[in-house]
Amino acid sequence: MIATRAGANMVEVLLYALLAGLGVAVITGPLGAFIVWRRMAYFGDTLAHSSLLGVALALLLSISPTLSVIATCLVLALILVMLQQQKGLASDTLLGILSHTSLAVSLVAMALMPDIKVDLLSLLFGDLLTVTGKDVVIIYAISLFAILLLLKLWNPLLAITIHEELAKVEGIPVTAVRTAFMLIIALVIAIAMKVVGVLLITALLVIPAATARRFANTPEQMAIFASLIGCSAVIFGLSCSWYLDTPVGPSIVLSAGILFLLSLTKKYN
């Protein structure tokens, strides 16, 4: 079993882990649907990797890692959007550069901080079993805020996803909506880090949404199904980890992957 907090009772550990996982999976479903529709999987991956930079900054400045990760992701997202508009380099090349450079910078920075012991593995792959009651409260507050914001932006965001210029002519404030969407991604990365770690966040966004596609006839159905599939993956993954003593984050992603494979047996709607 992965190291748990000293003195914590097992039921409590499991309950907090479950609550935290579900709180994250609820929002990664609908957000993931947009990531899939807008073909932003690699973009999400890059931001997720750069969130480690946020952690390094938090350690360096002794500030809250959650806030630091949100701020770092948001700033990087805006820089990325600006760089993409310059059209000097292909988008995926740019993302590849930023993704791995930010990962490397944060790993080097953490190694250079001799006084601070960082559990790198838990940052990279998540450590759901060390979640505290306070973490759960933070996760639910951020998740709820992200859900409300996404609900409010739902139709404009859908219109932009279908045709950005048409949406703009119809009076949708495209830049504002896109910026708010970046904020949602940053918020979700900050809380998903705890569950599956920076390397696996994209999986939690993309796999449940892709699985839900086969069962959905409307965008809203796809979003809701993706949430439910994500929640199932959290439950299966956590159970698997409990009985087989496997790492939690990868177990959750593996469960999601298996659900996706099973969904392939169904015909496309």
Partner 1 sequence: MSEVLIQLQGIGKYFNNNKVVSDVDLSIEDGQIITLIGPNGAGKTTLVKLVLGLLEPDEGRVMRHSNLCIGYMPQKLHIDPTLPITLGRFLALAEPNTKLCIDALKEVGIEKHIHSPLQSLSGGEMQRALLARAILRKPNFLVLDEPVQGVDVAGQEELYKLIGQLRTRLPCGVLMVSHDLHLVMSATDEVVCLNQHICCHGRPDQVSNNPAFIELFGSKTATYTHHHDHEHGLHGEVVHSNDSDSSGCQHG
Answer yes or no whether residue 219 interacts with partner 1 by CB under 8 A. yes
CA 195/CA 135 separation, integer angstroms: 11
Give least dist CB 176 to partner 1, A.
16
- Least Å from the CB of residue 25 to partner 1: 19
3-state SS assignment for residue 117: coil
- Nearest approach in angstroms of CB 180 to partner 1 is 18
> Measured from the CB atom, is 9 or 175 closer to partner 1?
175
Nearest CA-CA partner of 222 in 234, 212, 230, 232: 212
Stretch of 69-77, 123-131, 152-160, 176-184 lying at the interface with partner 1 (CB under 8 A): 152-160
Crossing angle of the two packed helices 133-162 and 10-37, in degrees rounded to 10: 10
Q: Which is nearer to partner 1, 40 or 193 (CB)?
A: 40
Sign of the CA dihedral with 220 first, then 256, 200, and 116 last: positive
| Site residues (CB under 8 A) for partner 1, limited to 11-70 | 36-39
84, 91, 179, 221: residue in contact with partner 1 (rule CB under 8 A) = 221
Is 176 a binder of partner 1 (CB under 8 A)?
no
- Does 155 engage in binding with partner 1 (CB under 8 A)? yes
Euclidean distance between CA atoms 161 and 172, whole angstroms: 12
Q: For the residues of 123-159, what is the DSSP string, one character each?
A: HHH--GGG--HHHHHHHHHHHHHHHHHHHHHHHHHHH
Query: Cβ 30 to partner 1, closest distance in Å?
Result: 13
Shortest distance (Å) from residue 97 CB to partner 1: 23
Size, binding site for partner 1 by CB under 8 A: 25
- The stretch among 22-30, 106-114, 163-171, 196-204 that binds partner 1 (CB under 8 A) is 163-171
Contact 219, 210 (CB under 8 A): no
Using CB under 8 A, pick the residue from 222, 226, 256, 259 that binds partner 1. Answer: 222
Of 5, 100, 163, 266, which one interacts with partner 1 (CB under 8 A)?
163
From the CB of 213, what's the least distance to partner 1, in Å? 5
| Binding-residue pattern over the window 117 to 136 for partner 1, x denoting contact by CB under 8 A | --------------------
217 and 202 Cβ atoms separated by less than 8 Å: no
Q: Which 8-state DSSP code applies to residue 130?
A: G
The count of C-alpha atoms lying within 13 angstroms of the C-alpha of 240, restricted to the half-sphere facing its C-beta, is 18
**Residues in the chain, how many?**
269
